[in-house]
A = this chain, B = another copy of it.
Amino acid sequence: MRDADPQQAALRIRAGRSPLPAVSLKADVPLLDRYREFLPITDATPLITLGEGNTPLVRSTAIEHELRAGALYFKVEGANPTGSFKDRGMVLTIAKALEQGSRAVICASTGNTSASAAAYAARAGITAIVIVPDGYVALGKLAQAMIYGARVLMIRGNFDDALALVRTLGEENPVTVVNSVNPYRLEGQKSGAFEICDALGDAPDYLAIPVGNAGNISAYWAGFVQYRAAGNATQTPRMLGFQAAGAAPIVRNEVVPNPETVATAIRIGNPASWHLAVRARDESGGRIDSVGDDEILDAYQMLAQREGLFVEPASAAAVAGVRKLVRTRQLDLAGRTLVCVLTGNGLKDPDRAVMLSGDAARVDPDIVAIERALGWV
């Protein structure tokens, strides 16, 4: 028995009291507790959890060689409770809303944010309200928010209209806005950087990450800086951010009125954390670049077929971007360690997978017919 006192642990269980983990699996320590000294947690903050964070850091077996990198790792954020990195920030945001006595939260969203808000609100026993622009959203995309019991209202208008309404509603009513204008979102997302440092023993040389609303690159940078300042890492990485070519306001240095890309999670023309992202780029000695949809879908398929990692298209943007920089000799990773953040689960967008894969072959239920179809005879 690895437990120092197994009988006591067993007794705790039998007595029905909350059994504390005797052998600590990190997964069983809530994220908010594990990194409480680095987060705005007080004794009054409820340490709610759905098992977020502690996501796998998976070593590349194929792309690492193509990039001639010293080491390439993928931070698999799709393993989070609602299938995206948003859970890291949302758990803190909802905890702080609870601490402040809020009984309802609201957001404008068409995807991952609404799912995460709805899940943690359900967990906390409070109401989640999601305002979505009608016509911009397939009903399937809202399946998560709806099954978690969020109140979903569709309005005529675009995302900016929805967000403006949400902000006004938040000012005039006792409801907490949990879009990324809420600072706890980025605070919680710093934990991704902490985990990477803990797993590697130090910060990597480079961190590659998709850039949409630009909050995640900003949060990771803040996390790396904080961890180095605390003596938990000896360096900070160069931050490599990638936007989709049709939605690249930071690269073009101008707002994109009608952003377009297959990577819907980063289809944003006027990022909320624009200036923070530019600062992360400049302070880290990194860069923010763009990649075309073809390159994104190519990386998306390569991740699935060569690495066994099924991600949503936006997650492939960072991998596509690094491949482009290496191929055009703008980046040399020899002897360097690179971490690519894979932000969301491929199951979020199954239609894309079906579309790219085509149809399955039909054959007769016969051994020879199957062997022939497989080219074995």
Residues of B within 8 A of A361 (CB): 151-154
- Which of A254-262, A263-271, A365-373 is found at the contact surface with chain B? A365-373
Indicate whether A205 reaches chain B with its CB closer than 8 angstroms: yes
CB-nearest residue of chain B to A146: B357
Q: For the complex, what is the distance from the CA of A153 to the CA of B365, rounded to whole Å?
A: 10
From residue 12 to 30 of chain A, which have CB atoms closer than 8 A to chain B?
A: 12-23, 25-28
Q: How many copies does the complex hold?
A: 2
Say whether B153 contacts A198, CB under 8 Å: no
Q: Which of A2, A54, A306 counts the most B-chain CB atoms under 10 A from its CB?
A: A54
CB-nearest residue of chain B to A348: B347
Residues of B within 8 A of A153 (CB): 360-363, 370, 373-374
Chain A 221-248 interface 0/1 with B at a Cβ cutoff of 8 Å (1 = within): 0000000000111110000000000000
Indicate whether A10 reaches chain B with its CB closer than 8 angstroms: yes
Indicate whether A148 reaches chain B with its CB closer than 8 angstroms: yes
Residues of B within 8 A of A306 (CB): 122, 125
Chain A 113-155 interface 0/1 with B at a Cβ cutoff of 8 Å (1 = within): 0000001111111000101101000011011101111011111
**Which of B23, B80, B151, B204 contacts A199, CB < 8 Å?**
B23
Residues of B within 8 A of A57 (CB): 25, 27-28, 51
Indicate whether A202 reaches chain B with its CB closer than 8 angstroms: yes
Say whether B71 contacts A51, CB under 8 Å: no
Say whether A50 contacts B119, CB under 8 Å: no
Indicate whether A290 reaches chain B with its CB closer than 8 angstroms: no
CB-nearest residue of chain B to A11: B202
Indicate whether A44 reaches chain B with its CB closer than 8 angstroms: no
**Which of B10, B69, B336 contacts A234, CB < 8 Å?**
B10
Q: For the complex, what is the distance from the CA of A22 to the CA of B157, rounded to whole Å?
A: 50
Residues of B within 8 A of A3 (CB): 201-202
Taking the closest CB of chain B, its distance from the CB of A71, in whole angstroms, is 6
Residues of B within 8 A of A1 (CB): 231-234
From residue 141 to 187 of chain A, which have CB atoms closer than 8 A to chain B?
A: 142-144, 146-149, 151-157, 161-162, 165, 168-169, 172-173
Residues of B within 8 A of A25 (CB): 26, 54, 57, 195, 198-199
Indicate whether A341 reaches chain B with its CB closer than 8 angstroms: no
Residues of B within 8 A of A26 (CB): 25-27, 54
Indicate whether A317 reaches chain B with its CB closer than 8 angstroms: no
- Which of A211-219, A276-284, A307-315, A318-326 is found at the contact surface with chain B? A307-315
Residues of B within 8 A of A357 (CB): 143, 146-147
Complex A-B: 24 CB contacts under 8 Å: A1-B231, A7-B234, A13-B200, A14-B205, A14-B335, A14-B336, A16-B336, A18-B59, A23-B198, A26-B54, A27-B55, A27-B56, A28-B57, A50-B76, A120-B308, A125-B306, A129-B374, A140-B350, A140-B354, A142-B354, A143-B351, A144-B350, A146-B353, A153-B360
Residues of A within 8 A of B (CB): 1-3, 6-7, 9-10, 12-23, 25-28, 49-51, 54-59, 61-62, 69-71, 76, 79-83, 119-125, 129, 131-132, 134, 139-140, 142-144, 146-149, 151-157, 161-162, 165, 168-169, 172-173, 195, 198-202, 204-205, 231-235, 301, 304-310, 334-337, 345-348, 350-351, 353-354, 356-365, 367, 370-371, 373-374, 376
